[in-house]
């Protein structure tokens, strides 16, 4: 368990575990984004939509992330060892061709690095985080 000091709040971070499922990773990623006042929008996967007779494009990333600044990017969640499907590779390529940022994230630490890359966290703030490997 990792602890991140975020202003007056402490966030418990599991940064390096091998998640049993992408759903478990998703739960922690969503919790962290909400705690940081970032809006994550979950994109239902194909199996979810099959139950309701809906339609969704194959391979679209799991989350659209909207920063308080209005900056938007896409996040594909994968547990360690998980690989992108051909549909996902095609969708990511199509989004990037439209000048969209797409990230594949395997842990909360990787997510924090994405937030630095997107300008939401700076490296000085990130260094204040107390990260400890499990």
| pLDDT surpassing 80 at residue 16 | no
Which tens digit of pLDDT belongs to each residue from 51-90? 555 556 678 999 999 999 999 999 999 988 889 999 999 9
Which segment of 41-45, 51-55, 61-65, 109-113 scores lowest on mean pLDDT?
A: 51-55
Please tell me the distance from the alpha carbon of residue 42 to that of residue 40, in angstroms, as a whole number. 6
Please tell me the distance from the alpha carbon of residue 24 to that of residue 79, in angstroms, as a whole number. 9
| pLDDT surpassing 80 at residue 122 | no
Single pTM value for the model: 0.76
- Domains for the chain: give ranges and CATH numbers: 2-128 (3.40.1350.10)
pLDDT, residue 22, reads: 85
CB 33 within 8 A of CB 40: yes
């Amino acid at each position: 368990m990792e602890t991140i000091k975020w202003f007056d709040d402490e966030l418990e971070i599991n940064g390096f575990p091998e998640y049993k499922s992408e759903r478990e990773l998703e739960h922690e990623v969503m919790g962290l984004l909400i705690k940081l006042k970032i809006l994550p929008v979950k994109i239902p996967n194909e199996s979810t939509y099959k139950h309701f007779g809906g339609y969704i494009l194959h391979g679209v990333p799991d989350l659209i992330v909207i920063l308080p600044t209005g900056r938007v990017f896409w996040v594909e969640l994968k547990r360690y060892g998980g690989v992108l499907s051909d549909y996902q590779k095609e969708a990511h390529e199509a989004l990037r061709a439209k000048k969209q940022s797409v990230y594949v994230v395997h842990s909360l630490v990787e997510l924090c690095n994405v937030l630095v890359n997107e300008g939401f966290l700076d490296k000085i703030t990130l260094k204040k985080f107390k990260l400890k490997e499990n």
